[in-house]
């Protein structure tokens, strides 16, 4: 749990983050939709925003059923979301700072 921040607040903040990606950063709709799916999966069924340990468990749990590139994208979505939350003053620290996804092999 991140400092008692309720996950329902996280849902509202997720909507704000997705608007920020699309409107301010001008990220294309497909990556925004993928980030929404990744972050919805992280927040599903939670009462509070997950802490670093919960995030790492979540990403580890994706490895058996998702391609490494998908897990890396999920990690990037989580890093961006928590960076946004911290910059906007919604959380006191960015618990996802330095979070890495799986190492991707080059073809």
| pLDDT per position as a tens digit, 16-42 | 999 999 988 899 999 999 999 999 999
Both structure tokens of 71: 């897990």
User: How many whole angstroms separate alpha carbon 69 and alpha carbon 23?
Assistant: 25
Q: Whole-model pTM?
A: 0.85
> What percentage of the chain reaches a pLDDT higher than 90?
71
Taking alpha carbons only, the member of 107, 104, 14, 10 closest to residue 63 is 104
**Residue 6 pLDDT class (50, 70, 90 cuts):** low
């Amino acid at each position: 749990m991140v400092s008692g921040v309720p996950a329902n607040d996280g849902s509202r903040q997720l909507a704000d983050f997705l608007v920020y990606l699309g409107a301010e950063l001008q990220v294309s709709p497909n990556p925004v939709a993928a980030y929404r799916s990744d972050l919805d999966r992280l927040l599903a069924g939670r009462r509070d925003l997950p802490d670093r340990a919960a995030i790492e468990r979540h990403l580890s749990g994706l490895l058996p059923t998702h391609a490494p590139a998908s897990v890396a994208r999920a990690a990037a979505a989580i890093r961006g979301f928590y960076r946004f939350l911290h910059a906007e003053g919604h959380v006191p620290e960015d618990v996802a700072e330095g979070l890495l996804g799986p190492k991707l092999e080059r073809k």
